[in-house]
Chain A
Amino acid sequence: DGGITQSPKYLFRKEGQNVTLSCEQNLNHDAMYWYRQDPGQGLRLIYYSQIVNDFQKGDIAEGYSVSREKKESFPLTVTSAQKNPTAFYLCASRIGQAGNTIYFGEGSWLTVV
């Protein structure tokens, strides 16, 4: 089935550690996105990528890093510089034209212990 796969679903991190969240899509979409969602809050854009080997900072990029080496993959690294990383992280993708629907993965919960 086509879709967006995020892994792991639940992740625990010790303070001071970097962790990487995986996002893979087989929809052949050009654009990919990472959002952060805090409990009871809306979505905030972390990074987005329109094409391979190119990505742009969103509204809350500090403490995060991404790469886009392949069209289908857009991993997010939460670095130790992110002071409050506990949140629900959503990966999304779409064909890179205005008006096209954005599709979401099932999300990953990151908890700092």
Chain B
Amino acid sequence: AQSVTQLGSHVSVSEGALVLLRCNYSSSVPPYLFWYVQYPNQGLQLLLKYTSAATLVKGINGFEAEFKKSETSFHLTKPSAHMSDAAEYFCAVSESNYGQNFVFGPGTRLSVLP
């Protein structure tokens, strides 16, 4: 069965500092991996997704994530945090053989300090 863990329910960084949000997954088949962002009282928006075309995936708002099969990880990074990046971030996995469902991680709340 597929599952997702996100290390750290809350991460704080200073404006301009590196953002690193961690995501590890388990899957019995090659997975599809996603990062979503949620601003308060809104739905989730897609940041980026991995579909096996390239291990380093670039997304919107300067975010990128690297798929590492050996580590079963898909960590999200951004070189320089901006105040507008403060939000909840969710990692998700969808197995290639089972298309009817997504599994979301518990989420990481990112705070950006001035």
Interface residues, chain A, with chain B CB atoms under 8 Å away: 4, 31, 33, 40-43, 45, 48, 50, 56, 88, 90, 92, 96-107, 109
Contact A101 B49 (CB under 8 A): yes
Q: Which 6 A/B pairs are nearest by Cβ-Cβ distance?
A: A104-B43, A98-B99, A99-B32, A42-B106, A104-B44, A43-B104
Nearest CB in chain A: distance from B30 CB, A: 10
User: Quick one: given A42-B107, A43-B90, are A102 and B42 in contact (CB under 8 Å)?
Assistant: no
Contact B41 A109 (CB under 8 A): yes
Complex contacts, A107 vs chain B, CB 8 Å: 41-43
Q: Which of A33, A40, A42 contacts B105 (CB 8 A)?
A: A42
Contact B107 A90 (CB under 8 A): no
Contact B99 A45 (CB under 8 A): no
Complex contacts, A98 vs chain B, CB 8 Å: 32, 94-99
Q: How far is the CA of A16 from the CA of B18 in the complex (A)?
A: 49
Q: How far is the CA of A70 from the CA of B47 in the complex (A)?
A: 30
Chain B 38-95 interface residues, beta-carbon cutoff 8 Å to A: 41-46, 49, 51, 90, 92, 94-95
Complex contacts, B102 vs chain A, CB 8 Å: 33, 102
